[in-house]
Chain A
Amino acid sequence: MADEKDQHDSPYFHPKPYGSGVTRRQFLAVAAAGAAAAAAAALSPLKDLTQIPTLRQFLQKHYTELTPEEKKEILGRISAEVREKYGVTPHLTAQPPLDGVQFAYALNMGRCIGCRKCVYACVNENNQSRDPQIHYISVLEMEKGAVNVETSNTDYEGQVPKKGHYYMPVQCHHCEKPPCTKVCPVKATWREPDGIVVVDYNWCIGCRYCAAACPYHARRFNFKEPYLPKEDLNPEMGYLSNRPRQVGVMEKCTFCLHRTRAGKYPACLEVCPTGSRKFGNLLDPDSEIAAIIRDKRVFILKQERGTIPRFYYFTDV
């Protein structure tokens, strides 16, 4: 009555219920082994995690709350880290802001020829990543007749200046009302009493709010581990300026804080072949920056933003 043909017609009939190849148990065993191997492979990047902070790093206080002894200890620790990674003992300082000094920068738009020497002098001074490239200064090439940042070009090459064009280098404007410091959720970036807006790379959590808030496109993020050849490292370093950065932190122009607080000019100014770049103490009436504010036609980029920059563009005449 239940002959073979009936059995075959039945939807519940399996000629070989668990097959001759794989049983359910075997299948699960192999699948579990495969899944475990795949998971191990996927997690293997954790093996290379070298940036687990030490307890002391983890418990470091905010820079503005550090005592001189704590600062000294931290500088020693960072120097040791740099020596380990680059084989050079750096001269790492944490200079305090100068009394009676308000730093400001001015750039002569009529003289700039867009040669980009400032860009690379900055890279050379401030230990930026060479690959991927990080530049604090963007030189905008614009057509004469208007200040139109939207149609500007940063990719020009060859002989400069190009006919019918002028150049406007843009970097951190060190605003008196900086929108970038307002949005920082952890106060890793702030404005120092001498007017320099700084970033503590040990405090930055990499949320990039500040880059979004900056109207001047001045902030640069380390999306990858910065690559800097050992021989290119500049051993003159400041805690808040050009000490080597790690992946996942924001950085930007600091007016070469480690130089300028020692009384020197910034690196971008020293290299400018046309002398378009001017820097100094606004409070000193004999400084070139005071002379520019007093005598020249000064222009502020995106004045309507109300950021009150400490970076001025000017022209002769």
Chain B
Amino acid sequence: MAEHDWEKTDAFRNTEIPYWLLLAVSAAFVAAAWFFYSNRHAAGHGGPAFVVKPQYYDISPARTLKKRLETEGMACGDCHDPSAGPSSSDPRVAPEVHSKVVLKHGPNNRCFNCHNNAKRDFFAEDGGGQIPYLKVETLCRKCHGTTYRDWTSGTHGRRNGYWNKAAGEQKQLPCIACHDPHSPAFKPMLAAPAPRKYTAPGVKH
């Protein structure tokens, strides 16, 4: 009886291993090695490679600067004749022509706080003085003194070009390069894409 059991467990020993099985197993090993080798770059890649679009690193400021005080492509003086004298209408209400202007500058809600009432191509300095468009910071500092101080020391706003002024030109952006004077709070913007974390196999370069 015991001998008989032993014989059963030894059944495999008497089994013949056919040629085709040996060849198939060898071929399977080679195929597996080739599979892992040829896919060595595919793992971890997903979809086409990330493209860094130019708008993600565009250094132009939030607003487009103009060369003069203008609206709809026309200088203010084209319509407002300086000889006509100051306007006497309600300084809180913009006329129909300027309906695009939405004033959200806090308590500063009078047009002629900033615009020169008599000479419309200029901003308003204290006592009826004139501030040219390109010196807009002298207008803003009338109220925003501490911000102006920071801007002159370089801690507010952006400087471009050279930190070492001996090596090259340093450009400082004016207030209105980033802030809309009629609605000065910095506007929300679309964030550039988040870093990719998950990728699926597939694409090679």
Chain A contact residues, CB within 8 Å of chain B: 9, 11, 14-16, 19-22, 27, 30-31, 33-35, 37-38, 41-42, 44-45, 108, 113-117, 119-121, 123-125, 130-133, 135, 138, 154-161, 224, 227, 229, 232, 260, 262-265, 267, 269-275, 278-281, 287-288, 291-292, 295-296, 316
A22 with B163: CB separation less than 8 A: no
- Indicate whether B98 reaches chain A with its CB closer than 8 angstroms: no
Digitize B112-131: 1 where CB-to-A-CB distance is under 8 Å, 0 elsewhere: 00000000000000000000
Q: Is the CB of A34 within 8 A of B37?
A: no
CA distance A260 to B168 in the complex (A): 12
Residues of A contacting B25 in the complex (Cβ-Cβ under 8 angstroms)? 34
Known contacts A116-B192, A120-B57: A27-B30 contact under CB 8 Å? no
Which label, helix, strand, loop or mixed, suits the secondary structure of the A interface? mixed
Within 8 Å of chain A (Cβ to Cβ): is B7?
yes
Q: How many A-B residue pairs have CB under 8 A?
A: 193
User: At the interface with chain A, which of B103-111, B134-142, B148-156?
Assistant: B148-156
State the 9 A-B residue pairs at the shortest beta-carbon distance, nearest first.
Answer: A263-B167, A34-B26, A288-B154, A41-B33, A263-B164, A275-B158, A120-B56, A121-B57, A131-B49
Is there contact, CB below 8 Å, between B163 and A159?
no
- B191-A38 in contact (CB<8A): no
Q: Is the CB of A11 within 8 A of B7?
A: yes
B160 touches A265 (CB 8 A): yes
A117 touches B57 (CB 8 A): yes
Q: Please determine whether B22 and A115 come into contact, CB atoms closer than 8 angstroms.
A: no
Q: Report the separation of the CA atoms of residues A292 and B156 in the bound assembly, to the nearest whole angstrom.
A: 10
**What distance in Å separates the Cβ of B40 from its nearest Cβ neighbour in chain A?**
7
Give the residue of B49, B57, B186, B194 whose beta carbon is less than 8 angstroms from that of A274: B186
- CA of A109 to CA of B158 in the docked complex: distance in angstroms? 15
Return the contact of B192 from the options A19, A117, A267, A272 (Cβ within 8 A): A117
Contacting residues, chain A, for B178 (C-beta < 8 A): 273-275
What is the bound-complex CA distance between A272 and B186, given in angstroms?
A: 13
- The answer to whether A20 touches B167 (Cβ under 8 A) is no
Whether the pair B3, A224 counts as a contact (CB closer than 8 A) is no
Contacts of B59 in A (CB 8 A): 121, 270-271
Q: Would you call A44 and B37 a contact (CB within 8 A)?
A: yes
B78 to chain A: which residues have CB within 8 Å?
A: none
28 contacts across the A-B interface (CB closer than 8 A): A19-B16, A21-B17, A22-B18, A31-B22, A34-B27, A38-B26, A38-B33, A41-B30, A42-B33, A42-B37, A113-B186, A116-B194, A125-B57, A132-B44, A133-B195, A155-B194, A157-B193, A160-B190, A260-B163, A265-B159, A267-B57, A270-B59, A275-B158, A275-B178, A278-B154, A288-B159, A291-B153, A296-B155
